[in-house]
Structure 1
Amino acid sequence: MFAVVVTFRIRPEHIDAFLPEMMQNAATSLAVEPGCHRFDVCTDEERRDEVFLYELYEDRAAFDVHLHSPHFLAFDDKVAPMIATKQVRTYDQVPT
């Protein structure tokens, strides 16, 4: 498995518009990408401008497919002005 964690800081005036777009991106990724196994969108009421993603893919190649998918590219283009900062970290599962 290949894990991806993303932390966004959303411009406060865009949080209500960002979340539905993010949820649609997650749902579409799970529905149409065979290599996408999990896509959680998380927030905390005390930090409304922060959005945390936890994604699991079959491997790095499946994540690359996600990054080049039409739905992700459209999402990314639409929400780019809403994002103040974005941090992406990736992890390979340790073999047993």
Structure 2
Amino acid sequence: MFAICVTFRIKADQMEAFMPLMLENAAASKTLEAGCHRFDVLTDADKPGQVFLYELYTDSAAFDAHCDSAHFKAFTAATADMVAGKDITSWSTVAS
């Protein structure tokens, strides 16, 4: 398996507009992408301007397909002005 962790830092007053788009992207990823096994969208009350994603794909090729998908590209374009920054890390299964 191939895991992606993303931490978004959302600009002030943009969370309300960002979250529906994020949830729509997550739902489309789980529904339309055979290689997407999990797409969790998480928040922390102590970090109100952040959104954390945990995504699990079959392999890195499945993640690449996600990045090439129409719904991902639409999400990225629609939220570009809402995001102050993001950190992305990837992880591969060693043992389970």
TM-score by structure 2 length? Answer: 0.97
**Matching residue of 2:9:** 9
Q: CA deviation at 1:37?
A: 0.1
Runs of at least 5 residues in structure 1 that lack an aligned partner in the other structure:
none
**Matching residue of 1:42:** 42
Structure 1: which 4+ aligned runs deviate by more than 6 Å?
Answer: none
**CA deviation map 1:29-49 (0-9, x unaligned):** 000000000000000112110
1:63 has 2:68 as partner: no
| Larger proportion of helix | 1
> Secondary structure of 2:34's partner?
coil
**Matching residue of 1:93:** 93
**Matching residue of 1:32:** 32
**Matching residue of 1:72:** 72
> Secondary structure of 2:38's partner?
strand
Distance 1:45 1:16 in 2: 14
Runs of at least 5 residues in structure 2 that lack an aligned partner in the other structure:
none
Between Structure 1 and Structure 2, how many residues are aligned?
A: 96
Aligned CA RMSD, in angstroms, stands at 0.9
**Matching residue of 1:22:** 22
TM-score by structure 1 length? Answer: 0.97
